[in-house]
């Protein structure tokens, strides 16, 4: 895990100014949770890629504006469905918007499906980098 984070540009104590993201996302109709804000500050602007051993490969781009600026209604649907605030996180594997819940749960959505990447951001990073041996994390999400 530390190799993947280092290759992405992360280091202990890293801090990113998220004021521009916050301003743009508020204007687009998003609400935020503290977990998202903490993840943005430490991991924002990184693209974390899977280890070469992970099949299929995976990545997580941590840029909530680039990934989700036009998806505030999707975030509201997630909140209604699961009863907690889902803040934009970024893009999983180049094509699926990802969100982090107030509880820490990280999900990705796209084309009527939802994937649970982890019950916490740390677990999601482990899944992105190492995989999980084939466990099914997919939920049919026709309600999206």
pLDDT at 2: 86
What's the pLDDT band for 132 if we cut at 50, 70, 90?
A: confident
Tally of structural domains, the chain: 1
Query: Residue range 87-109: average pLDDT?
Result: 95
- Is the pLDDT at 83 greater than 60, yes or no? yes
Q: Domain of 13?
A: 2-140
Q: Which contiguous run of DSSP H or E holds residue 69?
A: none
Summarised one tens digit per residue, pLDDT across range 31-65 is 889 999 999 999 999 999 999 988 889 999 999 99
- Is the pLDDT at 137 greater than 70, yes or no? no
Using DSSP's 3-state secondary structure scheme, residue 80 falls into helix
Q: What are phi and psi of 54, to 5 degrees?
A: -75, 125
**Residue 32 exposed, middle or buried by CB count within 10 Å (0-12, 13-18, 19+):** buried
- With both helix axes pointing from N to C terminus, report the angle between 121-130 and 34-43 in degrees, rounded to the nearest 10: 50
């Amino acid at each position: 895990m530390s190799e993947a984070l280092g290759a992405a540009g992360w280091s202990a104590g890293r801090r990113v100014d998220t004021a521009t993201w916050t301003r743009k996302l508020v204007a687009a109709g998003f609400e935020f949770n503290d977990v998202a804000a903490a993840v943005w500050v430490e991991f924002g602007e990184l693209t974390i890629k899977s280890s070469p051993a992970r099949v299929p490969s995976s990545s997580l781009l941590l840029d909530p504006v680039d990934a989700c600026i036009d998806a505030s209604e999707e975030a509201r649907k997630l909140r209604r469905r699961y009863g907690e605030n889902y803040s934009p996180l970024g893009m999983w594997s180049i094509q699926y918007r990802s969100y982090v819940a107030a509880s820490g749960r990280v999900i990705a959505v796209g084309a009527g499906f939802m994937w649970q990447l982890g019950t916490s951001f740390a677990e999601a990073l482990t899944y992105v980098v190492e995989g999980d041996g084939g466990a099914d994390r997919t939920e049919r999400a026709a309600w999206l």
